[in-house]
Structure 1
């Protein structure tokens, strides 16, 4: 018996009245989508986990498309926990995001927790059109309280106006290449996160690279974009640093 295969899709479009409509909002199995109260011209969607997972052998897919000029904010109701399952194959979680010209997407899910004994590969691929805006946050927590982490491979790719501005991969946990937890890697930290902000203004005024605080740094990307990368001892500290960076950049 194979693992669970589940897909979800969101399509946001301008509604012609100064707001954003959601003509497509569909999820299946563990990927339940709910429209929640937005603000102004921005539609808001919350991902509600209807089942545990992903478990070994599962394959989840989420696609969110923001059409030209539309505005969408997506969050999740709770953390996602990668768990071991009956199947020995790794679980997969693929996220595909696109933002049209003049559109805006805030992609702000809760943490991904890699529980002991699990194995998960995540790939988030994002395409942002000319004059599009993006705020994307990723947070990974290695293990629940008092346990060793599972194996986690996480790749993040961002393209702006057809140009790749970021393509990075994290591989950690049992079986990962040597050094993942050494001084040049996570250095004993158990929470790691990234914040990508794309704003047209950065083309004229790129951010300056600098250290934000211990374990956190800000970098300009090759385009109208910026990256914040953080390692922290726990999820609470990780979120606090990312929130401070987001308030400054966006």
Structure 2
């Protein structure tokens, strides 16, 4: 499984999620919870402890690589994100296709495909450009360090803000799985699946780098909230 890394940008730093982030995550999530209708965001310290423990358990199992999102200007934790759905294609072809773990030493293995998910930001960090640069850092790591063939992002099909933000990244809609699962409100929801392929990455990267360099965000942009 991929080893934890620090990803450094101009306005944001992604740190490997750890137990010492618990209290800061609880504070960030408690600023204003009005935008958290479509993704579970911990409420309070106890919930944040469980959130971090679950994320670290997924990391230990080789299923995810979670980060704390830190604002460089003041060093405050302003949210979280992660790589998940790590998929490895090495070895003999299996049928039917199914996600599988790495062959050989899991500490040196890198995935062939990954998903970015579980992303949320505090109210004060929304619309500041932090999300755009964080996605640039993660996509660059996935495509240029790991050499993945695909990065996927998904969202509740009802979450028009999140879907618009994903599309602004340059991701392509693969389709909507109708009646895919239950949402946080208990209703049966569809899930919109998006992806960026390795041959699309240079164009996507150029677009994101221009946005980050300009230190501006498109009008009406909200945090990329994916689940």
- Name the TM-score class by shorter chain: 0.3 to 0.5
With a CA cutoff of 8 Å and minimum separation of 6, indicate the structure with the bigger relative contact order.
2
Normalising by the residue count of structure 1, what TM-score does the alignment of the two structures yield?
0.33
Which is richer in strand?
1
Which is richer in helix?
2
Normalising by the residue count of structure 2, what TM-score does the alignment of the two structures yield?
0.35
Instruction: Give the greater-gyration-radius structure (CA).
Output: 1
